Chains A and B, each alone.
Chain A
Amino acid sequence: MTDPTLPKNPADREQDHRFDAALGALLRAEAEDISPLAAAVMARLSAHSAPHRSRAWLSPAPLAAGFGGLMAAAAALGYIGLPLFGTAGDDIVLTAALGGLMAGGF
């Protein structure tokens, strides 16, 4: 059974072809300049493929957490290790504190 919606003869097909071509020309006339699209795609592509270090700085939470962890570990080690130095440990802390104060003062 033939489909009644399909063109029956070559003349109809030729007419459809002309219609498509005319419609295409009408539609494409508004968007013929494609260079801004290409430029925008290339710019977005470059932004996506930025160096990994830049990406790390865009989301610094893991780095900040690592730094905080190291500081906490250093503080804990100092607290545990201080009694090993006995009274000399207090002197070290006092000297370091005074040194820091003077360095900051000048």
Chain B
Amino acid sequence: VTGDDRADEALGLMSALAAGDRSALARLISLYGTGIRVFATHQLGDAAEAEDVSQEVFLRVWSEARRYDPARAAVSTWVWRIAANLCADRRRRRMVRRFLGLDSPPDAALAADDAPGAERIVAGRQRMELLTAALAALPDRQRKALLMRTAGGLGTSEIAGALGLSVGAAEQLLVRGRTALRRTMGDIDDD
């Protein structure tokens, strides 16, 4: 499925969503759900919280479908902007709760064990943990841009729209993010 095919299908699904078709929502989840869950997991560093936010994203898509204007943004841009905003809100609230002593920092090992596919082989697990740490060490906007590209399959203009940046600025974030990640991980495409 190409990006254009996906964009066309998503546009049709938005019309169906606005008319109250729940099967269209299920299809939209199959288009964007995986990427958004990966994005939320690496933005929040907590699998359970990421799952909850991913659900919130699609509930928000459902409730706001009638307000979607195709002239203003692609469906992917709109959905990913909702995801980025909800993750930012959740991080902000968590910081306040931790500041007030209502929450404690998550146990990193426990969070990793709770992630889907916890039974993966040790080498793969170590590599994934290294990748998670490398992504976490990136500046926030570089991480967002890189996750949107790699996990979500978004084009540079879609990323720019979702993050409220120019296309050039989004491209720069991607280049810098890749450079930093290669420095930590090596060329992960050499396998």
Contact = CB atoms under 8 A, between A and B. Distances in A.
Contacts of A31: 34, 37-38, 41, 116
Interface stretch (B1-9, B79-87, B175-183): B175-183
B157 interface: no
A34 B33 contact: yes
Nearest to B153: A24
B150 A24 contact: yes
Interface residues on B, range: 35 or more
B181 A33 contact: no
A44 interface: yes
A29 interface: yes
A30 B151 CA distance: 11
A26 B58 contact: no
Interface in B138-181: 146-147, 149-151, 153, 168, 171-172, 174-176, 178-179, 181
A71 interface: no
A41 B178 contact: no
Given A27-B150, A37-B55, A5 B175 contact: yes
Contacts of B54: 37
A41 B25 contact: yes
A97 interface: no
Nearest to A24: B150
Contact of B38 (A28, A40, A42): A28
Interface in A4-55: 5-7, 15-16, 18-24, 26-34, 37-38, 40-42, 44-45, 48
Interface of A: 3, 5-7, 15-16, 18-24, 26-34, 37-38, 40-42, 44-45, 48
Given A29-B117, A38-B29, 19 more contacts: A3-B168, A5-B172, A18-B189, A20-B150, A21-B150, A21-B189, A24-B149, A27-B42, A27-B131, A28-B151, A31-B41, A32-B34, A34-B37, A37-B51, A38-B33, A41-B29, A41-B59, A42-B26, A45-B25
